C-alpha cells in the first residue's frame, strides 16, 4: 500500500520517523521535492495500515492518503487510469466525488476542470451519482509533476490528524 503523507515543513523528518514507528520497519519512506509531502510504501493492507496510522499518536503527520498506484502518464493516460480505477471501485448505486491535488504539473489548467472532466466521464461510464458533500466513494487523484497517484476511497480511508504548529 502506498500513502501520500503531508506534514508541516519544518517537521518532515519527524513525520518520516513517525511513519516508520507507526507502520513498522518494513515501510519505505521517501521525501518528495514538494515541501511537506512524503511518500510511504508498506506491505500492509490498506485497512491494516490505515488502522495503524489512526491509532498512532502523531506530532508531525497532518494527513495520510492511501493510493492504489502511482504512475507516470500524460493527460490522456490519466483519464484512462482514473476510469479503470473507478470502474473497479464504484458501482451505479454509489455516490462519488472527485478530488484532485496538483503539484508542479501542466497536466491540467486547474484542479476544478480536471475534477469536472473526470466526474463527467465516471457518470457516463459507471452511472454513479455525484455527491460533493457526503459521497460514499471519493476518487482521489494526486499529481506530482508527471507522476499520478489514484485511489477510490471510502469515507474513513483518509487519516487526518491534528498537529500543533
Which DSSP string corresponds to 41-54? E-SS-HHHHHHHHH
Return the half-sphere exposure (C-beta side, CA atoms, 13 A cut-off) of residue 9: 3
Q: Which residues of 96-105 are buried (b: 16+ CB within 10 A; e: fewer)?
A: bbbbbebeeb
Instruction: Specify the pLDDT at position 144.
Output: 87
Instruction: Specify the pLDDT at position 88.
Output: 95
One-character DSSP codes across 29-42: EEE-SSTTEEEEE-
Burial of residue 7 (number of CB atoms within 10 Å: 0-12, 13-18, 19+):
buried
Write down the domain spans for the chain: 2-67, 69-153
Instruction: Specify the pLDDT at position 73.
Output: 85
What lies within 8 Å, CB to CB, of 46 at 6+ separation is 1, 66, 157
Q: What is the mean pLDDT of each run of 10 residues along the chain (165 residues)?
A: 94 95 95 94 96 94 95 86 94 96 79 93 95 97 90 96 75
Angle at 12 between CA 8 and CA 16, to 5 degrees: 130
Give the bridge partners for 31, in sequence order: 38
Place of cell 518494513: 26
- Confirm or reject CATH 3.40.50.720 for domain 69-153, answering yes or no: no
Instruction: Specify the pLDDT at position 78.
Output: 87
Instruction: Specify the pLDDT at position 110.
Output: 86
Instruction: Specify the pLDDT at position 109.
Output: 74
Rg (CA), the chain: 16
Burial of residue 59 (number of CB atoms within 10 Å: 0-12, 13-18, 19+):
middle
The whole-model pTM stands at 0.91
Amino acid at each position: 500500500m502506498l500513502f501520500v503523507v503531508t506534514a508541516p515543513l519544518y517537521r518532515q523528518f519527524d513525520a518520516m520517523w513517525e511513519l516508520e514507528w507507526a507502520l513498522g520497519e518494513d515501510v519505505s519512506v521517501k521525501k518528495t521535492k514538494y515541501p511537506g509531502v512524503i511518500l510511504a510504501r508498506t506491505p500492509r493492507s490498506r485497512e491494516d495500515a490505515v488502522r495503524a496510522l489512526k491509532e498512532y499518536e502523531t506530532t508531525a503527520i497532518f494527513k495520510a492518503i492511501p493510493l492504489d498506484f502511482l504512475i507516470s502518464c500524460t493527460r490522456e493516460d490519466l483519464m484512462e487510469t482514473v476510469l479503470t480505477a473507478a470502474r473497479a471501485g464504484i458501482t451505479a448505486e454509489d455516490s462519488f466525488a472527485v478530488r484532485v491535488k496538483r503539484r508542479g504539473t501542466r497536466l491540467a489548467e486547474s484542479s476544478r476542470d480536471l475534477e469536472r472532466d473526470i466526474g463527467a466521464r465516471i457518470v457516463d461510464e459507471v452511472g454513479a451519482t455525484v455527491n460533493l458533500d457526503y459521497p460514499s466513494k471519493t476518487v482521489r487523484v494526486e499529481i506530482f509533476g508527471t507522476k499520478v497517484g489514484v485511489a477510490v476511497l471510502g469515507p474513513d480511508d483518509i487519516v487526518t490528524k491534528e498537529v500543533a504548529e
